[in-house]
Amino acid sequence: MDALKTISAASMKENAPEIRIGDTVKVHVRIQEGDKSRIQVFEGTVIAKKHGGISETFTVRRVAHGTGIERVFPLHSPVVDKVELVRHGKVRRAKLYYLRDRVGKAAKVKELI
């Protein structure tokens, strides 16, 4: 068990951001297209965090053209280039799945001052 912990600790990112539920973030994702790669930015609200350690993931939701889009990102993946924090959100829940049913201003999260 200790060998697994040392292997996973070696592959974890040192500069992993401290993101919380309700935060608005910009996730810079490396997209591979043939032999070229580019960076694509996905901005939205963090509605969930799962697991921990090397397998930690977070779910980001945004609404584009009236359609809700959710993506799950592994925190320590080499595909995730960086995560920028745009603003902190004021929430009292661990999972914000109720935002899926909300439309318009009701789907917003207040900013933490």
CATH of the domain at 13: 2.30.30.790
Among 36, 37, 35, 43, which Cα is nearest to 60's? 43
pTM of the model: 0.88
Q: Name the amino acid, one letter, at 56.
A: E
Each residue's pLDDT tens digit, 1-41: 678 778 877 778 777 778 999 999 999 999 999 999 999 99
Residue 111 has pLDDT above 80, yes or no: yes
Q: Residue 67 is part of which domain span? A: 2-103
DSSP, residue by residue, 49-99: EE--GGG-EEEEEEEETTEEEEEEEETT-TTEEEEEEEE-B--S-S--GGG
Domain count for the chain: 1
Residue 108 lies in a domain: no
Residue 71 lies in a domain: yes
CB 21, CB 95: distance < 8 Å: yes
